[in-house]
Amino acid sequence: VTIVVCPLIALMVDQVNNLHKKGIHTAACWSSSHRKSKRNIQDMRLTPIQILYCTPELLETDKFRAILTKLHSARRLHLIAIDEAHCLSTWGHDFRPAYRKLRLLREAFPSVPIMACTGTATSKVVQDIRDVLCLDSTTAPCLMGTFNRPNISYEVRYKDSLQHDVAEKAKQPCSGIIYVHKREDCTTLAIQISKTTGLVAAAYHAGLKDAEREDTQQKWTAGSVHVAVATVAFGMGIDLPHVRYVVHWSLAKSLEGFYQESGRAGRDGKPSISILYYSKDDASKFAFLLK
């Protein structure tokens, strides 16, 4: 069994569904009390699950750690993979405290290989990942790909043009993401876009119920929702080929965050665009911060 540590339930569900289509036995667990998670844990004891996704918080529970110990004793624990590994670094743009405790996996299962994966990591983040997971540079090499995405163009535009620009995208079958900072902006923008462009736009943020978020993501993935207006968590790790544009309604919280969020466009290598919108108030506010 390969254990994959993943930060988001939506991301786990998406990847499990994709792997099922490829005939790979996969399951996901995110809470020891959740009915579906319980069933998946039971299935793992009875059926040959190849990959098990779980949250870092679940790994903190004694019950789940006991299951891993049994797997290890039976020589069935073959690999621990940590997805979105930048989440464990205090230098990262998406720090999550529970990720720091993944060091305990290294201590509990020193003979099991650990692999840390991320699409965004500065040299400081890479070193922090090594330190937390006790990965020695001589035995655990860092494999790095290119950061250049030549099929993505970048533009800065004035906020008044958003609805017109999004309407232009409706002329071709594609999906888009608009990132905002505030939950209320998600709902407001989604309503405005739906009313003025003829596109189906939906809000996605942590204030919605799990079922609502899952429904929005499934419809967006299927193409019945054209635009997801979301806070930054949406789209993490999701490999949807026909995302043609990513919009930042507000400046991203970090350069790494901007790169990762923009990189959700053009996963199929076809021309795509990342657009940052601004207003005069934004310009003066960020000019003040830079000073």
Question: Is residue 246 in a domain?
Answer: yes
Say whether both 97 and 193 belong to one domain.
Answer: no
Q: Cβ distance 100 to 92 under 8 Å?
A: no
Domain enclosing residue 214, as ranges: 152-288
Question: Is residue 44 in a domain?
Answer: yes
Name the E strands within the chain: 2-5, 26-29, 51-54, 79-82, 114-116, 152-158, 175-179, 201-204, 227-230, 243-248, 272-278
Domain stops at, among 104, 133, 162: 133
Question: Is residue 143 in a domain?
Answer: no
Q: Could you tell me the two tokens for 282?
A: 């934004």
Question: Is residue 36 in a domain?
Answer: yes
What is the structure's pLDDT at 7? 87
50: pLDDT strictly greater than 60 = yes
Tell which wins on pLDDT, 119 or 142.
Answer: 142
pTM score over 0.85: no
Domain stops at, among 103, 133, 163: 133
Q: Cβ-count burial of 137 within 10 angstroms (0-12 exposed, 13-18 middle, 19+ buried)?
A: exposed
Among 60-64, 150-154, 223-227, the range of highest mean pLDDT: 150-154
Q: What is the mean pLDDT of the chain?
A: 85
Q: What percent of the chain is modeled with pLDDT above 90?
A: 34
56: pLDDT strictly greater than 70 = yes
Residue 84 φ/ψ region, left for φ over 0, alpha for ψ in the -120 to 50 degree band, beta for the rest: left
Alpha helices per DSSP H over 109-182: 123-133, 162-169
Question: Is residue 142 in a domain?
Answer: no
Say whether both 58 and 163 belong to one domain.
Answer: no
Give the residue-averaged pLDDT of 96-102.
89
Say whether both 111 and 235 belong to one domain.
Answer: no
Say whether both 202 and 254 belong to one domain.
Answer: yes
74: pLDDT strictly greater than 70 = yes
Q: Could you tell me the two tokens for 133?
A: 């997971």
291: pLDDT strictly greater than 70 = no
Q: How confident is the model at residue 35 (pLDDT cuts 50, 70, 90)?
A: low
Q: Cα angle vertex 90, ends 85, 92, to 5°?
A: 55
Please tell me the least confidently modeled range out of 78-87, 237-246, 257-266.
Answer: 237-246
CA–CA separation, 7 vs 97, rounded Å? 11
CA–CA separation, 86 vs 107, rounded Å? 20
Domain stops at, among 70, 102, 133: 133
Q: What is the CATH number of the domain that holds 16?
A: 3.40.50.300
Phi, psi dihedrals of residue 266, rounded to the nearest 5°: 65, 35
37: pLDDT strictly greater than 60 = no
Question: Is residue 138 in a domain?
Answer: no
Side by side, the strands of the sheet bearing 114-116 are 26-29, 51-54, 2-5, 79-82, 114-116
Say whether both 162 and 281 belong to one domain.
Answer: yes
What is the structure's pLDDT at 79? 96
Question: Is residue 147 in a domain?
Answer: no
CA–CA separation, 19 vs 232, rounded Å? 25
CA–CA separation, 273 vs 63, rounded Å? 46
Say whether both 124 and 156 belong to one domain.
Answer: no
Could you give the 3-state DSSP secondary structure of residue 182?
Answer: coil
Question: Is residue 146 in a domain?
Answer: no
Among 172-186, 219-233, 262-276, the range of highest mean pLDDT: 262-276
Please count the structural domains in the chain.
Answer: 2
Say whether both 81 and 124 belong to one domain.
Answer: yes
CA–CA separation, 218 vs 220, rounded Å? 5
Residue 189 φ/ψ region, left for φ over 0, alpha for ψ in the -120 to 50 degree band, beta for the rest: alpha
Say whether both 7 and 35 belong to one domain.
Answer: yes
Say whether both 106 and 12 belong to one domain.
Answer: yes
Q: What is the dihedral of CA 234, 57, 35, 108, to 10 degrees?
A: 130
Q: Which residues contact 29 (CB under 8 A, 6 or more apart)?
A: 37, 40, 41, 52, 53, 54, 55, 58, 64
Say whether both 83 and 200 belong to one domain.
Answer: no
DSSP-derived pairing of the beta strands 243-248 and 272-278: parallel
CA 166 vs. chain centroid, Å, equals 23
Q: What is the pLDDT of residues 122-173, one digit of tens each?
A: 888 899 999 999 898 888 889 988 888 999 999 998 877 776 777 676 566 6
Say whether both 124 and 196 belong to one domain.
Answer: no
CA–CA separation, 139 vs 85, rounded Å? 18
Say whether both 195 and 69 belong to one domain.
Answer: no
